[in-house]
Structure 1
Amino acid sequence: MKKLVFTLLFLGTYALLSAQPSAYKAQPFADDVPLTTPSMLDADYIARVMAALPLPEAAPENIKQLSKVASVQNHYKEFTIAWQKLESKKLSRLRKWRDSEITDLHKKQTNLFYPFAGPDFLNAYLLFPTCDNYLLFGLEKMGTLPTMAQLRGNYLFRLRKSLSILMKRNYFITRDMINNLNSNVKGVLPLIAVFMARTDNKILSIQKVYVQKNGKPKFVAFNDNKWHPGIKGVTIEFKNKNRDLPQRMYYFGTNFVNTAMYTKKNLVNFITNFKNKMTFTKSASYLLHGHNFSIIRNIILNQTSASVQDDTGVPYRYFKNSWSVKLYGKYARPVRDFNYGFQTDLNRLFKTDKTVKPIDFTFGYHWWTDKSSILVFRKK
C-alpha cells in the first residue's frame, strides 16, 4: 500500500507540472533588462560568468565589470572549488569510461533521446559529445537567464544552491529541482547554460520552438510572444571549440505519462522524426518500469539503436534477443523510495556474468556506495 501511495503521489505531481517559457527580446544592455533579452553573444558571456570561467577580451565592458563585484568574486572561488571536486571524483572518470567502452556510439549524424533529463545537459554531452541533436525532456520550466542587477546580488549564491545536489551526487532530485527552480534560479535555462560553458561550448542562438501536428518543429524568435499552435519548447544552437559544425539541443517541459502522451501525438512524431537515435537514462525514478510510461518505453525499444542507462531505465526483461547487453559496476537493490524497482533477473545476471567490468565512479542513486551500475544495450 505504501508503494502504491508513493507511486500515485509521484505521478500526480508529475502530471500537474508544466513549463512556462519566458521571452528574449533583442535590445541594448541595461541593469533592469533580463540577459535573456540581448544578443545571444551576450547570453554566452553570461553563461561563462555563471560557470565561473574567464571572459574573453571581446566581452562587453559592463559584463567585465562584474569581476569587481564581491559576490561575483566569491562565486568564482566557490564554484571553481566545487567543480574541481566534481571533475576529479566523477566527470574525469566517467569520461575515461566513455572513451574506453562506448566509442562505437560516437558516430556522426546521430541524435540523443534523454527522457526525464531535466537540465542535465552535462551528462548527456559528456557521454555523447558527437550527436547532432540532443532531445531533453523534464518537468521543470524553461526560465530565463539573470539580469545584471541579479548577478550583482545573491543570484549566483542561489545558482550554486540549485547545483549543490548535482555537485555531490551527479544527478538532480525532482522534488528539490521543483522547489529551487521556482524560488531560486527560475527554470532550467541557467543550469543548461552553465553546463554548455563548462563543456567548452559556445551558445550561438536560442529560440522558441513549437512542435506541429506532423512532428516538425517551427522556430520563432525568443521575443515572439504571439500564440502559435503546437507544444512549446526551447532550442539552443551551440558549437564546441573542437568541432567544425554546430550542434542543437531541444528542451521541453512536458509530461511523459501515458494519459498525457495520448494527447501529444505531435511530440511522439517529433521524437520519431529524428533518425539514428540513441537513448540515455539516468536517475529516472524507475518510471519506465510501469505501464503508465509504456509509450516512451516503446519509443526506446523500437526506435533507438542503443541505450546507455542505470537500472532506473527500461527494465532488463524488455530487451529481447534483438539486443546485446554489457554490464558495468555492481547491481544493488533500489534505494528506499523505489523498492518496487528491484529486478530479479538483472540481479541474477550481474552475479553470473563473468564479463561484468568494474567502474571507479558512482552513477545514479547509489552515490554514497560502490554499488552503482551501468547497462549498455546495443541493438543487434
Structure 2
Amino acid sequence: MRFSPVRLLLPALVATLTACSEQKTARQEPAAPPVAAPDTTAAQPATPATPATPDTSAMHNVAAFLAGLPVSRQSDLRPLTAQPAWQAYAADQTKSWTNYHTTRTAKIEEWAATELDSVRAASPTVFYPFSGPDFLNVTTMFPTSTTYVLMGLEPIGTVPDQATLENPKLFPALKASLWSVLNFSFFRTNDMAVELNSKKPDSNTLNKANSIVKTAERTNQRVNIGGVVPLLLLFAARTDHQVEALRYVQLTPEGQLTDADSATVQKPGLNVVPGVEVKLRSKAGQEKTVVYLSADISDWKLGNTKDAALKYVRTLGPLTTYVKSATYLMHKSYFSKVRNLILERSNYLLQDDSGIAMKYFRPAEWQFTYYGTYKRPINLFAKQYQPALTAAYTDKANPPRPLPFGTGYNWRQNDSNLLLARRQQPVQP
C-alpha cells in the first residue's frame, strides 16, 4: 500500500458525518417490596427509563449499500436500492467481486490454510503498516484474528450521509477507487499508474482501469469519498462481516486510544494522530476490532507526535505484522523507528519484498520461508533490488515454495513473492 504524500486515486465531493456512538442500556433495578401500613397503599418506586439500544443495523446498511449488497427491509436506504444507478452498480459489483473471490480469495484461503495455519492460531493481533484502507487483504490472510491495526497517510473520512448516498455520482467514484485493488491487489496512486502503464499489458486490465478513471474525470462524475471510512465499511460488508459500531478516535501522546469528535479527526492538528475504530462480527459470530490510524510514521514525523503511534502498537502485545505494497519505505534510514519496532515486537512477519530489507534481519533470530518468485522490483523502485533475495530464491538446496496468487507491485501470479519470517524465540507479553 502506498504510504506517501500522494493521495489515493479517489474520486472530488466530501461526504458528511453520520455519527454512531454506543450507549449502554441502563440496568433496571428490581422494585422494592411494598411495606404494609394501616389504611395506606405502599407506593411503588418509579421504573427508571431505559435508554434506546443503538441501531447497529443502520451502520451495516450503509456498508451494504456502498458494497452493492441488499439492505434490510426496514432501512431508510431501501428505496434508494430501487434506483437504476444503484442497481447497475450492484450488478457490476456482483460480477467484479465474484471474479475477485474466484481468482484471489479462494486461492489465498487455500494457500494460507496450509502455509499459515500455525501463524493464524498465534495471531490474535495483526499490525498492517502502510496499509491505507486495505482491510480486504489482511482479513483474507488472517480471518481468525480479533484485532487489526492499520496505518496510512490517507485521511479518516466520514460515514456518508443520506444526501451523498442519494447522489448517483457516488457509484462511479466507488468503482474507480476499487478497480486497482480488485485487479492488482493494491490501491493505485498517480505515479504508480504511470509505472504500470510503462509495462506491456498482458490483458486489457490496465487500459480498462485507466478508461474508468478518465471517463469519471471527463464527465465530472468523481465524488470524493472522503477517506478510508467508506472503503472500510464496504470491505467489511464484502467479507461477510456485520458492522456493529463505529467511533472516531485519536491517540494521546502516551499512545492511548481515546474518543475524538468528528471535527478533530477531519481537521487534526499537526501533533494529533486521528483514527477510526470499527467493531465487526464475523459470519461465524466472532467479534473483531479494526483500528485505522492516519499517521505519518517516518522518523521525523513521529518526533512531532511523540511516537504516539508506535507507543500504541507496543500496548498490543506480541504481533504478527503484515506488509504489502509498502513502496520500500522501510528500506530507508528515515523509517528506522517503525522498522525496529516490527523487528522487536513481531513473532511473525509476512511481507513482500517492499517491506523490511533482508539486511536488517539478524539471521540467528529468524527462520525464513520464501514463496513465489523474486525478480527485480518494477522500474519505479529499481534501486531497491536485493541481491540477498535473489540468492535465497535461487538456492537449489532450499527452493522457494509455490505462491498460487499474485500480490504486491509485481502483481501477476508468476511474478509475485512473499516472505514468512518466524522469530526463533517468541516475544514475551
* TM-score range normalised by the length of the shorter chain: 0.7 to 0.9
Q: Displacement of 1:183 after TM fit?
A: 5.3
Whether 2:115 is the aligned partner of 1:73: answer no
Distance in 1 separating the partners of 2:334 and 2:289: 30
Find the partner of 2:183 among 163, 168, 173: 168
Name the % identity. Answer: 27
Alignment of 1:246-265 (within 5 A): 246-264=287-305, 265=307
Letter in 2 for 1:328: Y
Find the partner of 1:364 among 380, 400, 408: 408
SS in 2 for 1:238: strand
CA deviations 1:120-167 (Å, max 9, x no partner) are 000111111222221111111111233333333220221011111111
Q: Displacement of 1:303 after TM fit?
A: 0.8
Aligned counterpart, 2:372: 329
Q: Displacement of 1:175 after TM fit?
A: 3.5
Higher mean Cα deviation, 361-370 or 247-256?
361-370
Aligned residues of 1:23 and 1:223 also touching (Cα < 8 A): no
CA deviations 1:13-61 (Å, max 9, x no partner) are 59xxxxx99644469xxxxxxxxxx95431210111111223334x42x
Aligned counterpart, 1:190: 230
Distance in 2 separating the partners of 1:223 and 1:262: 24
State the TM-score, normalized to the length of structure 1. Answer: 0.85
Aligned counterpart, 2:96: 82
Name the CA shift for 1:248/1:282 in 2 (closer, same or farther; >3 Å).
Answer: same
Find the partner of 1:120 among 134, 139, 150: 134
Find the partner of 1:46 among 38, 62, 86: 62
Name the CA shift for 1:177/1:213 in 2 (closer, same or farther; >3 Å).
Answer: farther
SS in 1 for 2:77: helix
Aligned counterpart, 1:140: 154
SS in 1 for 2:321: strand
- Structure 1 stretches of at least 4 aligned residues deviating more than 4 Å after TM superposition: 10-14, 20-23, 176-180, 220-230
Letter in 2 for 1:379: R
Distance in 1 separating the partners of 2:20 and 2:422: 45
Distance in 2 separating the partners of 1:159 and 1:211: 29
Aligned counterpart, 2:164: 150
Q: Displacement of 1:306 after TM fit?
A: 0.5
State the TM-score, normalized to the length of structure 2. Answer: 0.76
Alignment of 1:1-380 (within 5 A): 23-25=17-19, 39-57=55-73, 59-60=74-75, 62-107=76-121, 110-152=124-166, 153-175=168-190, 184-220=224-260, 230-244=272-286, 246-264=287-305, 265-320=307-362, 321-353=364-396, 354-368=398-412, 370-380=414-424
CA deviations 1:334-355 (Å, max 9, x no partner) are 0010001110011111000534
Letter in 2 for 1:214: E
Distance in 1 separating the partners of 2:338 and 2:268: 28
Q: Displacement of 1:110 after TM fit?
A: 2.0
Aligned residues of 2:125 and 2:320 also touching (Cα < 8 A): yes
Distance in 1 separating the partners of 2:120 and 2:173: 35
Distance in 1 separating the partners of 2:357 and 2:123: 28
Distance in 2 separating the partners of 1:250 and 1:176: 28
Higher mean Cα deviation, 296-305 or 353-362?
353-362
CA deviations 1:83-135 (Å, max 9, x no partner) are 11111111211111111100112236721111100010001111112222211
CA deviations 1:188-235 (Å, max 9, x no partner) are 111111110111111111111121122121125658889999522111
Distance in 1 separating the partners of 2:353 and 2:176: 28
Aligned residues of 1:112 and 1:279 also touching (Cα < 8 A): yes
Distance in 1 separating the partners of 2:366 and 2:223: 44
Distance in 1 separating the partners of 2:60 and 2:321: 28
Q: How many residues align?
A: 352
Letter in 2 for 1:54: P
Q: Which runs of 5+ in 2 are unaligned?
A: 8-13, 22-53, 194-212, 425-429
CA deviations 1:218-258 (Å, max 9, x no partner) are 125658889999522111111112134x2111111121111
Letter in 1 for 2:57: L
Q: Which has the larger radius of gyration?
A: 2
Name the CA shift for 1:341/1:227 in 2 (closer, same or farther; >3 Å).
Answer: closer
Q: CA RMSD in A?
A: 2.9
